[in-house]
A and B are shown apart, each in its own frame.
Chain A
Amino acid sequence: MQEEQPTVSTQTANLQTPMAAAAPQSTLLKDLMIPASIVLAGIFVGAGLYFSNGTGGSDVAGAPVPAQPVAQADNTDKVNPISAEDDYFKGNIDAPIQIIEFSDYDCPFCSRFHDVMNAVVEKYPDEVVWTYRHFPIEQLHPQAPAVAIAAECVGELKGNDAFWSFTDTYFVARGSGDKTAHDVLIPRLALEAGVTQAAFTTCFESGEMTARVQADMTNARETGGGGTPWSILIGPSGKTYPINGALPQSAIEQLISVAKAEA
């Protein structure tokens, strides 16, 4: 393709050429300003991402945990292994692909990713096990830790299915825009999941489940989690893959294929 040169008035250019020639160093400096600023901006981007461990905005997928120490990148192998006794899971506990999700009940992106993961587990019931762990970001979602504690109480009192019943219905409610107050919605969903009000209230107010939530949060940060949803896929070979934010189902499926291919 013939390149057209930018049009310049010959007369004007001739008038100005001596001036440009009189300050070659200045011109060079100005010319360097553009690439230098781009490089500088690139360094800012890189540094910013490095120090934030690749996370982005606030009420967003991969949202930062404000005022928390930034974890080192790629510590995903420090994730606590899935345990049938300690974890609430969907899928086959002996599946070759494990997906450990650290999530926040009031994060809209976690709600989206919850739908994605439900679809993934439904599609790969024998190949994938998915466990839900807590990573409430209190600074952004002040009630999220309470929801996490409530979910743990439901699970403690009624087991795996009840935990997932509570979790699924909570995300469905919030995902559909249900703005019911937490102190109304939480006990209602707990009752729907099968626990009695008295048992739930006792557990919820005892604070016994707080340590479990805290342990999940600590492990999330140790593994490099800087926001929610933060997930780690473990392949058949034991290799770990970080998933930052709410990836689409197609990306999760591709990552599963990759992990299987690397086995």
Chain B
Amino acid sequence: MLLSVSKRVFTQTRYIQIAILVAVLALSVAILLPNVSVIVQVLQSSNIDVAAKLIFLGSMYGALFTNFTLFSALATLAISTLFGINSALLAYYIRRRQAGVSNTGGHTAGVLGVVSGVFGIGCAACGSVIISSFLILFGAGGLLAILPFQGAEFGVLGVLLLSFSIYQLSKRIHDPLVCPS
């Protein structure tokens, strides 16, 4: 089923583009967001030419190798890729549904994927910008320290939820468009 859905969706350039664009954006968010302040500062500077700004921005991507553990770098790459695939499938599903029938199952799976992707993605060992941020906000950041993998669990959770979401979406796409009786 997954293979047949992949063939159906990813033989179309539009969906390949969506998947790549979203994956790159998600990866960029994970790598660059911790330093968004200095990036904005440099990009807004009128004393630096565009080439220097782009070189600086490009160099920041090296943080994937220094600012992440091997595990969290792999988790972030996996989540970004799955997030891109999930988004492309969701876009395909929405277009197909608009052309055919209303069915909320795919929406639910897609929303689950989007949300789990956002929660799962993030920097380094904690695996999630969101979770750690909210824990800190509520003064419970120390909870991360007592987790067996100090928050890396969220990265794994993100991968699992996105995989489940992709499976659900693929199932909806694969199934014939009929109303459940």
User: Is A248 on the interface with B (CB-CB < 8 A)?
Assistant: yes
User: Is B122 on the interface with A (CB-CB < 8 A)?
Assistant: yes
B63 nearest CB neighbor, chain A only: A247
Provide the main secondary structure of the chain B interface: helix
User: Is A173 on the interface with B (CB-CB < 8 A)?
Assistant: no
The one of B11, B69, B99, B100 that contacts A60, using a Cβ cutoff of 8 Å:
B69
The one of A20, A27, A51, A74 that contacts B37, using a Cβ cutoff of 8 Å:
A74
A224 nearest CB neighbor, chain B only: B37
Q: How many residues of A contact B (CB 8 A)?
A: 76
The one of A65, A241, A246, A251 that contacts B141, using a Cβ cutoff of 8 Å:
A65
Nearest Cβ on chain A to B33's Cβ, whole angstroms: 6
Q: Which of A41-49, A175-183, A192-200 contacts the other chain? A: A41-49
Residues of B within 8 A of A54 (CB): 33-37
Instruction: Verify A246–B63 contact, CB threshold 8 A.
Output: yes
Q: In B77-116, which residues have CB < 8 Å from any A CB?
A: 90, 92, 94-96, 98-102, 104, 107, 110-111, 114-115
Whole-angstrom CA separation of A244 from B66 in the bound complex: 12
Q: In A30-44, which residues have CB < 8 Å from any B CB?
A: 30-31, 33-34, 37-38, 41-42, 44
Instruction: Verify A251–B124 contact, CB threshold 8 A.
Output: no
User: Is A67 on the interface with B (CB-CB < 8 A)?
Assistant: yes
Residues of B within 8 A of A45 (CB): 29, 33, 118, 129-130
Residues of A within 8 A of B45 (CB): 258, 262
Instruction: Verify A51–B133 contact, CB threshold 8 A.
Output: yes
User: Which of B38, B62, B147 has most chain A Cβ within 10 Å?
Assistant: B38
Instruction: Verify B177–A9 contact, CB threshold 8 A.
Output: yes
Instruction: Verify B177–A60 contact, CB threshold 8 A.
Output: no
User: Is A245 on the interface with B (CB-CB < 8 A)?
Assistant: yes
Instruction: Verify A61–B47 contact, CB threshold 8 A.
Output: no
The one of A9, A16, A247 that contacts B66, using a Cβ cutoff of 8 Å:
A247
A41 nearest CB neighbor, chain B only: B118
Instruction: Verify B111–A109 contact, CB threshold 8 A.
Output: no
User: Is B127 on the interface with A (CB-CB < 8 A)?
Assistant: yes
Instruction: Verify A58–B145 contact, CB threshold 8 A.
Output: yes
Whole-angstrom CA separation of A56 from B121 in the bound complex: 10
Whole-angstrom CA separation of A62 from B151 in the bound complex: 14
Instruction: Verify B107–A30 contact, CB threshold 8 A.
Output: yes
Q: In A224-256, which residues have CB < 8 Å from any B CB?
A: 226, 241-248, 250-251, 253-255
The one of A16, A34, A241 that contacts B177, using a Cβ cutoff of 8 Å:
A16
Residues of A within 8 A of B111 (CB): 33-34, 37
User: Is A13 on the interface with B (CB-CB < 8 A)?
Assistant: yes
Nearest Cβ on chain B to A253's Cβ, whole angstroms: 8
Instruction: Verify A27–B100 contact, CB threshold 8 A.
Output: no
The one of A16, A33, A243 that contacts B100, using a Cβ cutoff of 8 Å:
A16
Instruction: Verify A20–B101 contact, CB threshold 8 A.
Output: yes
Instruction: Verify B35–A140 contact, CB threshold 8 A.
Output: no
The one of B60, B102, B150 that contacts A58, using a Cβ cutoff of 8 Å:
B150
User: Is B72 on the interface with A (CB-CB < 8 A)?
Assistant: yes
0/1 interface trace, chain A 61-102, chain B, CB 8 Å (1 if under) = 111111110100110000000000000000000000000000
Whole-angstrom CA separation of A140 from B150 in the bound complex: 9
Instruction: Verify B133–A61 contact, CB threshold 8 A.
Output: no
The one of A61, A226, A250 that contacts B124, using a Cβ cutoff of 8 Å:
A61
Listed A/B pairs (5) with beta-carbon separation below 8 Å: A8-B100, A34-B107, A52-B132, A62-B123, A261-B48
Going nearest first, the 9 A-B pairs with the smallest beta carbon separation are: A57-B126, A60-B124, A48-B133, A56-B123, A66-B141, A248-B62, A58-B144, A16-B101, A66-B142
